[in-house]
Every structure is written in C-alpha cells, then in structure tokens.
Amino acid sequence: MRADKYTGSNVVTLRKNIARPMGIVAIANDTDCTLNPCHVLNGGCEDQCNVAVDGRVWCSCFLGKVLLPDGKRCVEKEANCSTEEFECGNGMCIPFELTCDGVSACQNGTDENEQYCKTRTCPLEFFPCANNRCIPKSRVCDGQNSCGDYSDEMLCNCAEDQFRCHFGGPCITQAYLCDNDPDCPDGSDEMDCPKPDCSLHPLIWDPLQKLINCEHTVACIHPAWICDGQDDCWDMSDEKDCETKVTETSCPSNSFQCEGGDLCIPKTWKCDRDDDCNDGGNGTVSSDERG
C-alpha cells in the first residue's frame, strides 16, 4: 500500500499478493542526504560511520577489530601504550608528538592518516600547534621551534638579552640581530639594520649582473628574483603587488573537473561517497559528491 503519511489519503495498492504488511517506510522528497556528517571524511571514523537519531556521529569497527578510547580509530591488536603514546593499530606504540608531522613513524602509516589528522584533537598533556601537530607542553616557550611553525614560541616572555620577533613571534638572542641571517620567521631580526652596498656583491657566475637591496631587510637580491614566487627578501616584500599567474587546467573527456578547475579526477570517483576533490567547506561535501 502507498498513502499520504500526514492524512492517510490517496491510498494506492501496489501489490495484492502479500498476506500482510511486514513494515512501514516513510519517504519524503525534501530529504537532503548531502547533510549527512558521514559523507565528509567518513565522520572522522576509521571504519564505519553511523549517525544517531539526534544527528551525532558515532564510530564502530569492522568484525575482528575494537574501538580505541578516542572513539574514532580501530585496531586489530591492542597494545599497552601510555597516555603519551600513539597506538599504531598493529601493536606498536610511538611518541604522540610524531603523529601528523608528515613523516610516517608507524610501520602501517596510521599516524599520518589524512582523515585522522584532520579530525583529531591533542591529549590534555599536549600543546596543539597551529599546524595541527601536538607537542608536550614542556616544550612550549623553550626557545626551540618544536611545532615547526613557531606557534609554540609565540607570546612567550622574552628575557632581557633576547629580541622578540614582530607580530608576537618567538624570542631570539640579541646576538642574532643584523647578522645577515634571518632567525625570525618574518625576518624582523634583519630589519632596521645598516644596509650593505649590494652593488659590491656581484653574482659569482656572472660578475656583470648586479644585486639590489631589499626594501626592509639587509638581503641582496637579483632584480629577476622579484615576483618569482620565492621569498628572497625574507619578509615577502619582493613578492608584493605581483600579478597572479592563473593556469587553466583541461581535463580529459573521461574525467570530472573539480570546483575551481585545478584538479581532475576519474568520472568513476564522482558520487562514490569519498571526498576526492577535497574542496568542501563549512561542513559541506566536496564538489564530486554533490548532485
């Protein structure tokens, strides 16, 4: 039978050779399946993503695996890892700070899994870096770039014999100021310094080619290096006000062009419930998973 679920009217008999109804299914044409949180990075789950009645995601594992305490990853063999270690899923433990750093420390590569790294949070005893890495809190404000992006050295109290890099940057020893070597991420330790005569520093391979001074730092660059996409002046001043070169991507006939036009994927990857274009934002699915 088929009928209007609100009024019970418009009853239509679909089949007459069934002894009795065995179930009821309610169907609505306004359902937006693209809002399913499991369609984006599998909801952060390693194996199976499930949606509860209140819309929350809960993860489960395939047969033979167990769910780890983070509620997202599954392992075939549990290891006795400490709270400061990462469970690789094969019985191996590694220091947690080695996860999501671009280098696989686990033999099976689970510590660099893209889905895990995009959705994980740092344990309580770890500091969350701006680049999504996790380091022990004891390494914050120790003068070392442990995060790799200096975010662990930002807004620290500098000693009297130290210089604070601009824009809330890290602290460096004053002996590094104006030494023709940028130690600050923004090159601010090489600003407001006596500028060298760059005309006295010809290129070794072509003495007739002369170098010029950068606007703010003590760096000397070749005029051809301006707007070449490289930070030669240490503060990106040689790359300001440059015309952006846009290259158009042409996809083969058996391919799908992602939104933005800079990536082509096989047509068979479209609507396969995998975020292949990786261009979704604010909880929306990527362009290859839209209707």
CA atoms of 169 and 209, how far apart (whole Å): 36
Q: What is the pLDDT of residue 156?
A: 87
Within this chain, do residues 203 and 240 fall inside the same structural domain, yes or no? yes
CA atoms of 234 and 183, how far apart (whole Å): 10
Assess if residue 119 is contained within a domain.
no
Give the domain extent around 237. Answer: 195-247
Q: What CATH number should be reported for the domain holding residue 51?
A: 2.10.25.10
Residues (pLDDT < 50) of the chain are none
Burial state string for 27-59 with b = 16 or more CB within 10 A and e = fewer than 16: eeeeeeeeebebbbbbbbbbebbeeeeeeebeb
Assess if residue 63 is contained within a domain.
yes
Assess if residue 260 is contained within a domain.
yes
Within this chain, do residues 203 and 219 fall inside the same structural domain, yes or no? yes
Assess if residue 122 is contained within a domain.
no
Assess if residue 10 is contained within a domain.
no
Residues 6+ apart with CB under 8 A from 194: 178, 218
Within this chain, do residues 212 and 238 fall inside the same structural domain, yes or no? yes
Q: What CATH number should be reported for the domain holding residue 238?
A: 4.10.400
Q: Which of these three, 52, 78, 104, is where a domain ends?
A: 78
The two three-digit tokens of residue 94, written as one number: 């590694």
Q: What is the pLDDT of residue 17?
A: 67
For residue 2, what are the β-bridge partners? Answer: 12
Q: Compute CA 241 distance to the chain's CA centroid, rounded to the nearest angstrom.
A: 28
- Indicate the number of domains in the chain: 3
Within this chain, do residues 48 and 65 fall inside the same structural domain, yes or no? yes
Assess if residue 117 is contained within a domain.
no
pLDDT in tens, 119-162: 889 999 999 999 999 999 999 998 888 998 889 988 788 888 88
Concatenate the DSSP letters of all residues of 164-193 into one string: EPTTT--EEEGGGTTSSS--STT-GGGBSS
Q: Read off φ and ψ for residue 72, nearest 5 degrees.
A: -130, -40
* Average pLDDT along the chain: 84
Assess if residue 171 is contained within a domain.
no
Q: What is the pLDDT of residue 33?
A: 58
pLDDT in tens, 282-291: 767 888 888 7
Q: What is the pLDDT of residue 178?
A: 92
Assess if residue 131 is contained within a domain.
no
Q: Which of these three, 45, 78, 111, is where a domain ends?
A: 78
SS3 81: coil
